[in-house]
Structure 1
Amino acid sequence: MQHYRFKFIAAIYAMIIASPLHAEQDETSSKDKHSKEQPKKPVIMPRVDVIGVPENLEHISGSANVLDKKTLEQSRVFTVNEALRKVPGIHARDEEGLGLRPNIGIRGLNPTRSTKINLLEDGIPLAYAPYGDNASYYHPPIERFDRIEILKGADQIRFGPQTIGGVINYITPTPPQKFGGHVQAIGGNLDYFNGKVQLGGKGLLLDFMHKQGDGARDNIHSELRDYNLKYVLGLTDNQSLTLRANYYTEDSQLTYSGLTTAEFNTFGARYNPFKNDKFNSGRLGLSATHDLFLTNNLTLTTNLYFARFDRDWWRASSTTTDTQCGSAFTTARASGQAINADTCGTQGRLREYYTWGVEPRLRLNHNTLGVDSNLDFGFRAHYETQDRRQINLNQFDAAQNGLRENNVRETQAYSWFTTNRFNLGQFTATPGIRYEYIDYERKNRMNGVSGGDHLDAWLPSLGLTWNPHKMVTAFASAHRGFAPPRTEDIIGGTGTSTDVGAEKSVNWEVGTRMNPLEGVDLQASFFRNDFQKQIAVGSIAGGSTPLAQGETLYQGVEFSGKVDMPLGTYVRTAYTWLPTARQETPFRRVDTGAAVPGSVSGNRLPYAPEHLVTAAFGFAKWGFDSQIEAVHVSKQFSDFANTAASSENGQAGLINPYTIFNLAINYHHKPLNTTLFFMIKNLTDDVYIVDRTRGIIPGMPRLIQGGVRYTF
């Protein structure tokens, strides 16, 4: 079946390229234009944007934010989490402290492993298994990107498969035609070093970065290397190509388990006895984007991508309640006694992922029925293979030693979308629809049992904009939200299928963007995400939470603004108010139908703070650019029962509100093309909790860093 589907897709693509279609032209035909001698135009880099140029904002029917290069450099962001907190609606939760595995939630959705968002890089799927295991055990370093696009609302159905929270698209630098580049070095406390070299010219860009540092707790240290190659070339007058290659490695001393309440109180937030835990990973990514201008009004953009990601995580304990090291070990931790990790065995969670796909996108500007319109159509053939093993060594229970898991999980996904924007003077209306079809297969190599299942979904959307003035855009949208289940959730280890299905929601939004004065940018929106079925992932490092589903409701307000004031001063703010993040029905186990303990209709959903605020005040003049930033997160519950007191194992209890301050000072010496900078993160060195999923996880302590960048 896969063979025939691929042949069908290839045939459609060939027909599009060979098609004699000609949309309405200017007075001079495309052929005539190319026949005349004209100055050679610069090659425009083929890339799929989510938002694109600022002029596009007047037609986007949902919240749209761009973190540009200037914003990222002004604040000298340390991690992608720090960057994304500058956007309203995003709750970016730390883990190890270095931002290597961000936990990103949008509009109240649980941020664990960023499973409910759509991550792209230059418009290409970034997650290693966006259909079968949409988790973020790999994430590129923030230093790789020039800017970040964040889109919510109905327009996100053009991307998929996740169409609930939003789309985050990381944009890499454009290769220059003139030779140039930069070298950069940053050092600081906690053994931090970051070295970066970038060289480019004639459409080629080479980029290398080495980063290392200690994490938020004892016995956590990471080293990573990131190599990038990007080449843009013009093939003919009407087509161009972008080629990309990336190789990334990480070697970390990294613990998975959090702290018990007694350990936190007795030894402090930085305590971590698991000195032998190791995490090693590598990723190879290859992609190509091809632009073909068939006519002045008809463009075909095609993405072709491949990625291989592997990670080996050897760890002694996964949570504060598991018995990998024996019940006496677990009891000692619960009572706050010091333990010796050398007496504990290890579990190796060994994973390999292969992902590849092709995605042509067609843009047609037309005038059907006398209405100026823009039609977007695209389809995707996407394939994933997960090779998963678990090996236990020297476990407390000898019967648990050896190979415990050995299976392969395969996913084939086929999707298409179409939207048509009708331009009606001050108004635009953009109806759209997306279709997803997913085949799942899982084979247990240990007993030879295999199973399969499939699902499909139709996802309609409608977006509206109104531009009563060139400085004001009002927007509204509604769309069907979709998030596919993981392969392991829909097919069990015995090959049997579970009737879990996909998440389903109806998402509404209404808002406005405006530039009332020069240097003033404002955006505000009201949103409502109504879930007929939301899935609570049933695997928290070994299954301490059952796979469950229920009805939920999220609604709130977002606001963002930046104001450039006299004397070189500026303010920037992002605020989210989420008064409603409610369980409409108790969450029930998929396997038995029983209610999850503590889940009650009316309770607030876990990890959904009511208030998120990031605000900065800065000064930029005479080569200096300095700013002080405050980041506030209000209280959060960590379980369905809304438990207030910290549980013995640390996995339940209120997460208290916290506010941290970040300082960044930059000085650019223009004659020498050199920038000096100095940063302090968590200026007051506050101790605060960010997560309880596997036990108590603290935020990063105070970081003091300085660096220099020379541009040539």
Structure 2
Amino acid sequence: MSRNSFIRAALAASFMPAMAMPTLAFGEEESKKKAATDKQKIAPVTVTGILPDNLEAVPGSFNVIDEKALEERRPFSIQEALNSTPGIHIVGENSFGLGVNIGLRGLDPRRTSRTLLLEDGMPLFLAPYADPSAHYTTPIDRIQRIEVVKGSGQVLYGPQTVGGMINFVTKPVPRDGFAGNVTATVGNNDFQGFHANAGFGGEWGGVMVDALQKKGDGIRKNHDFDIRELTVKGQFNLTERQTLIAKVGYYEEDSHISETGLGSVEYAEDKFQAPSGNNDKFEYDRKSLQLQHIFQMNDNIKLSTQAYYVDSFRTSFRQINDPGTLGGRSALERCPGGNGVVPATEANAELCGGRHRPRSYDYFGFEPRLDIKHSTFGIESDAVIGFRYHEEQSRRRQFRGGTAAFQDLSFAQANSLAREDIAIDVVAKSYYAQNTFYLGNWSLTPGIRVEDVRFKTDVARADGEVQNNPGSNSTNNQTKVLPGFGVAWNGIANTTIFSGVHKGFAPPRPDRDLEASGPNSVVLSNTKPEESTNWELGMRSRYFTGVSVESTLFYTDFDQIVVGDGGGRFINGGKSVQSGIEFAGRVDFGKIYNTPHNVYVQGSYTNLFEAKFKKDTADTTAGNRLPYAPRDIASINVGYQHPVGLDARIGVDYVSKQFVDADNTRTESLDGQEGTIPSYTLLNASVNFRPVGSKVSYFLSGYNLADKEYLASRVDGMAVGRARQVFGGVRFDF
């Protein structure tokens, strides 16, 4: 199916239920008259996130970061917004939340490939199946709330279900006339941000335009970045029971962020240097379309139909491939007559070439879902039944050259043969069903998901040579049945005790299966998908006024886990286990003592007391700890809210020591890719002031206020964490 044909079909499909379903649901004329009589009883169509309306019945752990919490914390990026969520570990070696690395419950956080990222239920990765890398996340400016789901409710979503999922719920269109806001932000490190949102709405629906730009200096020297995004969102109430939502977005990033870290000697000399940063670059263009049709057929039946299309292109250029090769200092990879021994300095970098990695991706999907309230067998129940069809195409290429002219991608493509040229096509069909039975204070939720995936890989060039042997073309079919079951008990007021288990799944990565050592030598191993069994037992409660607490004990048993082995390489680690306990809570003393002056304490803590390989393999040793799986992660904040509109907060984030490889190497290597990451504690604060009755808000936020120098990552060399970042701004609502 062509892209244009798909878009036309998706538009038609979105409107078809509006024309066909009334006849299906209500049949003859008498039923239509009854529907007309009953329509006053039907609640207006509302659009929410992925969590159900009845949160008390959710049989698993979840966290919701709502609009109020986002205003309190004033996060600089998604990274800061999620830092206080239990179970989450973020490796912040990149610039200000670009290319975010999120790991849940001990899983490798590299580019968030084990955590399903969604925007309003639509996948966000470069390619959700073939290349689940998070080089884009919804900008914090467009978000109304963030939903983090880690429990058995994941069977409704996919394909990545081994760790959890995060859904960014965007702001709705205005409902009552003209409305919007303008925000201007400035900060150190030459940071500048501008965001504008404006729309108009009424009973018929609404239209909204959202525009933003952010730019500044990155974490390291010569790492400046510039991102821009334009989004148009419309909601059209076709009838009292039907709503059509359309959203179109365009995002572009132009940054000089090197993906290569430093050797150990370079890092000791100047942690923030990036010798090739002036020439290294990362460019990313993303176009997206999302359509949602919601049909509230009656009080008990809702049909939701989603269609989406994403077309993206990313290219990166780097001049250092392996850091630290010159006795702990880096060499420029490709220079005239250099033979790989030219020291990495800014002056030398101007004379040298390097490698370009242009990659294009597009994917589309169509997903109808039926939510039904019923009482089959005399038991009140909520059922969900759905299906998703998804296709994606990826093209991975690489070009190299040894002169300064090769710093330009167009020149490199015109004057060199591709070092790598790989096409990956994916067709995936997903089927899911879930039913929640309500039995007094109990709710039981069995569910099942079936993933039927076909990967087709065609390697035209690899290792710089033509590949035309039988192994250069491969088709890998995978069908997995993923059951889940959860129980929730609400026998205590405002309290839920829950337990659940579900089968986790992460599709195989074709780009990791390739090996070549010359012409017509490529081998594709067609690895199996990662599979896990995820258990949890927990409690969440608001029993006492002004006090909210939650705690979850979790256990994840992996059958086949894939872990990083440095330099962007991955290995199969076999069986592993991750277990731990999460705590989170908040106390609002203003609510306890019934006073408008509110002092609050909010905190979270994750103890990952076990994260280890279970059996020896060729690359792993039983008992060794998983890479990038810190034992302790904690966040605590103390704040004060004044009735005049003042909100001030100060807090600390703590991450304990981490290993970075499967061997748990403690001695630092010259290339910086081996060794430990020491623990670190960061001091943060924010102040918001919006005078009562005013349309203007003033805010000031600071992260790493103590300006602590800390090591964030050893992937591709040593990468320092962000230094002190302070920013302030003004927001005007109209």
TM-score, normalised relative to structure 1: 0.91
Q: Equivalent residue for 1:603?
A: 624
Compared with structure 1, are the counterparts of its residues 241 and 371 closer, same or farther at alpha carbon in structure 2 (3 Å cutoff)? same
Deviations 1:395-429 (A, max 9, x none): 69x99954212222110100101011111010011
Q: Which residue of 2 aligns with 1:561?
A: 585
Is 1:180 aligned to residue 191 of structure 2? no
Structure 2 letter corresponding to 1:50? I
- Tell me if 1:245 matches 2:248: yes
Please name the residue that 2:108 is paired with.
Answer: 110
CA distance in 2: counterparts of 1:662 and 1:539, whole angstroms: 31
Tell me the distance in 2 between the aligned counterparts of 1:413 and 1:391.
31
- Percent identity over the alignment is 34
- Residues 271, 538 of structure 1: CA spacing in aligned structure 2 closer, same or farther, 3 A cutoff? closer
- Pair 1:670–1:14, CA change in 2 (3 A): closer
State the match for 1:194 in structure 2: 193
For residues 484 and 2 of structure 1, what CA distance do their matches in structure 2 show?
25
Letter in 2 for 1:531: F
Match of residue 328 from structure 2: none
- C-alpha distance 667-12 of structure 1, shift in aligned 2 (>3 A): closer
Secondary structure in structure 1 of the residue aligned to 2:357: strand
Compute the displacement of 1:330 (Å): 6.3
Q: How does 1:73-84 map to 2 (within 5 A)?
A: 73-84=71-82
Q: 1:492 to 1:301 in 2, by over 3 A?
A: farther
Q: C-alpha separation between the residues in 1 aligned to 2:190 and 2:123? A: 33
Q: Name the structure 1 match of 2:611.
A: 581
User: What is the rounded CA distance, in whole Å, between the counterparts of 2:585 and 2:339 in structure 1?
Assistant: 51
Q: Which runs of 5+ in 1 are unaligned?
A: 589-594
Shift of residue 389 of structure 1? 1.4
1:670 aligns with 2:692: yes
**Offset of residue 470 of structure 1:** 2.6
Q: Which residue of 2 aligns with 1:591?
A: none
Alpha-carbon offset, residue 338 of structure 1: 8.4
Please give the residue correspondences for 1:158-307 in structure 2 after superposition, counting only pairs within 5 Å. Answer: 158-177=156-175, 178-202=177-201, 203-307=206-310
Q: Show the counterpart of 2:423.
A: 408
Once the 2 structures are TM-superposed, how far is the Cα of residue 442 of structure 1 from its aligned partner? 1.5
Alignment of 1:696 with 2:694, yes or no, is no
Deviation (angstroms), 1:51: 1.8
Q: Distance in 2 between matches of 1:507 and 1:263?
A: 42
Deviation of residue 316 (structure 1)? Answer: 0.8
Give yes or no for the alignment of 1:320 onto 2:323.
yes
Give yes or no for contact 1:220–1:252 (8 Å, CA) kept in 2. yes
Instruction: Find out whether 1:479 has 2:478 as its counterpart.
Output: no
Q: What's the offset of the Cα at 1:31?
A: 4.3
- TM-superposed CA distance for 1:617, in Å, is 0.5
Q: Secondary structure at the match of 1:198?
A: strand
1:230 deviates by: 0.8
Displacement of 1:325 in angstroms is: 3.4
Q: 1:599-619, CA deviations, whole angstroms, 9 ceiling, x for partnerless residues? A: 311111110000001111000
Cα distance in 2 between the residues matched to 1:199 and 1:11: 29
Q: Aligned partners of 1:29 and 1:519: how far apart in 2?
A: 48
Residue identity matched to 2:640:
F
* Secondary structure of residue in 1 paired with 2:511: helix
Relative to structure 1, is the Cα distance of residues 101 and 338 closer, same or farther in structure 2, using a 3 angstrom cutoff?
closer
Which residue pairs with 1:358 in the alignment?
366
Match of 1:438 among 453, 462, 465: 453
> Displacement, 1:486?
1.3
Counterpart Cα distance in 1 of 2:2 and 2:487: 38
Q: Distance in 2 between matches of 1:637 and 1:568?
A: 41
Partner amino acid for 2:77? Answer: T
- Structure 2 runs not aligned, ≥5 long: 326-330, 407-411, 591-596
> What's 1:119 paired with?
117
Deviations, residues 56-99 of structure 1 (Å, cap 9, x unaligned) = 22111111100011111111101111111111000011122310
CA 1:279–1:511 in structure 2 vs 1: closer, same or farther (change >3 Å)? same
Contact 1:22 1:298 in 2 (8 A): no
For residues 388 and 707 of structure 1, the distance between their equivalents in structure 2, rounded to whole angstroms, comes to 41
CA distance in 2 between counterparts of 1:539 and 1:2 reads: 39
| Cα deviations by residue, 1:317-364 (Å, 9 ceiling, x for unpaired) | 23416873379786676xx98873224322110011001000111111
In 2, Cα distance between equivalents of 1:485 and 1:194: 39
Change in Cα spacing, 1:533 to 1:395, as seen in structure 2 (3 Å) is farther
Judge conservation of contact 1:428–1:466 (CA < 8 Å) in 2.
Answer: yes
Residues 429 and 452 of structure 2 are in contact (CA less than 8 Å); yes or no, is this contact kept in structure 1?
yes
Identify the residue that residue 379 of structure 2 maps to in structure 1: 371
Q: Deviations over 1:185-206 (max 9, x none)?
A: 0101111000111101111111
Q: Does 1:381 align with 2:389?
A: yes
The letter of the residue matching 1:292 is F
For the Cα contact (< 8 Å) 1:525–1:559, is it kept in 2? yes
Q: Distance in 2 between matches of 1:235 and 1:208?
A: 27
Give how far 1:292 is off.
Answer: 1.5
* Residue 421 (structure 1) aligns with: 436
Q: How does 1:588-627 map to 2 (within 5 A)?
A: 588=617, 595-596=618-619, 599-621=620-642, 622-627=644-649
Distance 2:512 2:490 in 1: 45
Q: 1:292 to 1:491 in 2, by over 3 A?
A: farther
Give the residue type in structure 2 aligned to 1:165. G
| Pairing 1:631–2:653 present | yes
The 2-side partners of 1:161 and 1:707 are apart by 39
* Matches of 1:161 and 1:506, distance apart in 2: 15
Q: Which amino acid aligns with 2:727?
A: Q
RMSD: 2.9
Would the alpha carbon gap of residues 628 and 500 (structure 1) be closer, same or farther in structure 2, given more than 3 Å must change?
same
The counterpart of 1:509, out of the listed 536, 541, 546, is 536
Aligned residues: 686
- Per-residue CA deviation, residues 103-126 of structure 1 (Å, 9 max, x unaligned), is 000000010111101111011111
1:500 aligns with 2:509: no
Q: Which residue of 2 is the match for residue 69 of structure 1?
A: 67
Q: Secondary structure at the match of 1:70?
A: helix
Distance in 1, Cα, partners of 2:15 & 2:452:
19
Deviation, 1:144, is 1.7
8 A Cα contact 1:451 1:495, kept in partner: no
Q: 1:505 to 1:30 in 2, by over 3 A?
A: farther
Taking the aligned partners of 2:100 and 2:74, their CA distance within structure 1 comes to: 18
Retained in 2: the 8 A contact 1:606–1:637?
A: yes
Q: CA deviation at 1:540?
A: 4.0
Asked whether the 8 Å contact 1:43–1:234 carries over to 2, the reply is: no
> Deviation of residue 375 (structure 1)?
1.0
Give the whole-Å Cα distance in 2 for the aligned partners of 1:37 and 1:83.
Answer: 41
Residues 1:139 and 2:137 aligned together: yes
SS of 2:456's equivalent in the other structure is strand
Answer yes or no: is the 8 Å Cα contact 1:46–1:241 preserved in 2: no
Shift of 1:495: 6.8
